[in-house]
Amino acid sequence: MATLKELAEYTGFSITTISRVLNNDPTMNVSDTTRSVILEAAGKLHYRTSRAASRSRAGRGRQLKIGLAEMLSPLEQLEDPYYMYLKNYSLQHFADAGCAVIPLIWDQSAYLPSSSEKLDGILAIGIFSDAQTNSLASLSSSVIFLDSAPDELRFDSVVLNFQLGVEQAVDYLIAHGHREIGFLGPCRKLDQKKRPAPEVRREFFIQSMKERALFRSEYMRDASPMTSAASRKYLTQRLAQGGPMPTAILAANEEAAIGAAGALRSSGLSIPKDLSIISFNDTPLSALTDPPLTSISSHVDAMSATAIHMLLQRISGQAPEIPLKVMVPPTLIVRESVRTF
């Protein structure tokens, strides 16, 4: 967990400026750029105000009521733990800030709060349709989207820079001698407004490989949905069929990578001896696999912390009039799933 001094060294701003921005000082007048840089750094470096201070501030007035809308149900989150981690980190940050969180339930045509109390703001995690987005806006004027940006002209948002993550993975594999590199994940997925569209990680991978004159379409593995079971079934079938195999693959998420590892084991192969793998997300699952996965970290804690900071500033009237979009840079976490040629 970072200190104010470390945030000051990282951003170049004074401790006083950082403290006043993070604590929503009503007398503070800073530019949108300065505010965005400080919020992003606070999330990335895992800065948290103390529980005592947060409760003290909350005690000066009524407790804020925050609506929570989720793309996935709790059962669906078991198949895609990334969203479970986003939610749990968000709940922790809200607790630190002394906020009450009220689940929002989608009832076919509208979101319904599980409480009759008026909402001060809403955190929406995941991807939502236009109808869902408009329903959320009808419940509160302060809405922020985490892991999507459905309408940058209307709402604040915090998203991951997928393009940078893909380039980090590709460059790392190339630096370790790989030239035959494939992708494992779906061809299509829902876009920012829950419409079918080309999967963004796949599209950035194709672009990155073409720019390096290394793209080979036969190494693109269409595994959908992004679950370990689907990935394992698909790759097992491809291995049985034979044909050219890449020396390394970039998996769209950890579940796809875990499924690939199972398919390789079933075929008498192993990671990274027979196939190197890099995955996206880097939740705790990545460190628990055998071997531990080299992964592109989405910084789920930092993303959540940044979103909560931005939402609280919006509620307090300290955010700029225009919506803000923070794009969090990912980080390559090196473990044991990539071999060197």
Domain boundary pick from 260, 281, 297? 297
Q: What is the pLDDT of residue 179?
A: 97
Q: Please, are residues 81 and 296 in contact by the beta-carbon 8 Å criterion?
A: no
Q: What is the pLDDT of residue 25?
A: 61
What gap in Å lies between CA 40 and CA 234, rounded to an integer? Answer: 38
Counted domains in the chain: 2
- Asked if residue 248 is part of any domain, the answer here is yes
Q: What is the pLDDT of residue 42?
A: 79
pLDDT (tens digit, 9 = 90+) per residue, 180-206?
999 998 887 766 777 777 789 999 999
Residue 141 CB neighbours (<10 A): 12
pLDDT (tens digit, 9 = 90+) per residue, 10-57?
888 888 788 777 766 655 667 767 877 887 787 777 776 554 444 444
**CA 175 to each of CA 90, 181, 277, 306, 340: distance values in angstroms, whole numbers, following the listed order:** 36, 12, 14, 32, 9
What CATH number is associated with residue 37? 1.10.260.40
- Asked if residue 57 is part of any domain, the answer here is no
What CATH number is associated with residue 254? 3.40.50.2300
- Asked if residue 70 is part of any domain, the answer here is no
- Asked if residue 118 is part of any domain, the answer here is no
- Residue 38 domain boundaries: 1-47
- Asked if residue 282 is part of any domain, the answer here is yes
User: pTM here?
Assistant: 0.80
- Asked if residue 196 is part of any domain, the answer here is yes
Q: Token digits for 214?
A: 């290394």
pLDDT (tens digit, 9 = 90+) per residue, 270-300?
999 999 999 999 988 899 898 999 999 999 9
